[in-house]
Structure 1
Amino acid sequence: MQRTRPRDRPLRPVLWAGLGALAVGVVLCVTGWYGVSGERYAERQLPYIASCTVPGAALIVAGAVLLASLRGQGPDAAATEQNADAEPVEAPSPPPSAEGPLLQVPGGTLLHRPDCPLVTGKPGAAPPDDASALQPCPVCQPEA
């Protein structure tokens, strides 16, 4: 039987590098901790911290970053992208026009143009019954 190579073959070096960095980082941190724990004086602990613990922590962070970079790049990501492309996309609604009757938000005290960002998309925005009692909006500045 012939074996085929998986499509995610280029991701394997990054995966192994991330796992290797994590493993070496953990070993260095444990070695540094063990070395520090055996020394009584701070002067003798410093070499273990400098040569094992700090590089070990850096390798753990680097490995975590490498593994996090793989998220969303596997074979399932391609299927997800294909499914996302297959979904119907709604056409954007046309921008509101400045022409038309002035509007009031229910319970509001301001008079707005139809294209005012304060009323665009608000449910219930309708022409007011009595426009004389309303103040003009400071954003869209409608002409009363």
Structure 2
Amino acid sequence: MPRTRPRDRPLLWAGLAALVCGAVLCVIGWYGISGERFAERQLPYLASCTVPGAALIVAAAVLLAHGDRQPAPTREDTAAAPEEVPTPPSPSARGPLLQVPGGTLLHRPDCPLVTGKPDAAPPDDPSGLNLCPVCEPPPPGPPAAEA
């Protein structure tokens, strides 16, 4: 995707202009208020400079946030690149449920959260552990009786 030049982004420039104007108004309002002793004489500076300056700063933040967004993809763009749909882990993963040391979840052996972690091992007591929301293992059954 080609990079857009700053002059091609009017929201960015409008946001920067609103930010500068708002900052200037806030400084003028502060300077005017600082020279007045009585609150009655400070109110005009609040009403005419400080409050509109703060409103312009908020408007600038909104414009700058929207100015950074790229245009929405067109129908041709979405047709050219199909979306990948993640496949859930297979429920047929056999083997004991695993726990990462210090973890609080039980995982299937093929869970992406434990794949590649050599420390993952079956827990000693699975009763206090929660089930992983990613691989959704079956609840642990009672321990198998050893013969």
Establish whether residue 23 from structure 1 lines up as the match of residue 20 from structure 2: yes
What is the 5 A alignment of 1:35-50?
35-50=32-47
In structure 1, runs of 5+ residues without a counterpart are 1-5, 108-116, 129-133
Partner of 1:11: 9
Following the alignment from structure 1 to structure 2, what is the Cα–Cα distance between the partners of residues 37 and 135? 68
1:65 aligns with 2:62: yes
Q: Do structure 1's residue 118 and structure 2's residue 106 form an aligned pair?
A: yes
AA aligned opposite 2:38? Y
> What letter is aligned with 1:142?
G
Count of residue pairs the alignment pairs up: 115
Distance in 2, matches of 1:36 and 1:136, equals: 67
Identity, % of aligned positions: 54
| Aligned counterparts of 1:7 and 1:32: Cα–Cα separation in 2 | 35
> What amino acid maps onto 1:20 in structure 2?
A
Tell me the CA shift for residue 71 of structure 1: 1.9
Contact conserved, 2:97 with 2:106, CA < 8 A, in 1?
A: no
2:106 aligns to what SS in structure 1?
coil
In the aligned structure 2, how far is the partner of 1:104 from the partner of 1:25? Answer: 57
Judge conservation of contact 1:17–1:66 (CA < 8 Å) in 2: yes
Partners of 2:57 and 2:18 lie apart in 1 by 6
- Is the Cα contact below 8 Å between 2:6 and 2:12 reproduced in 1? no
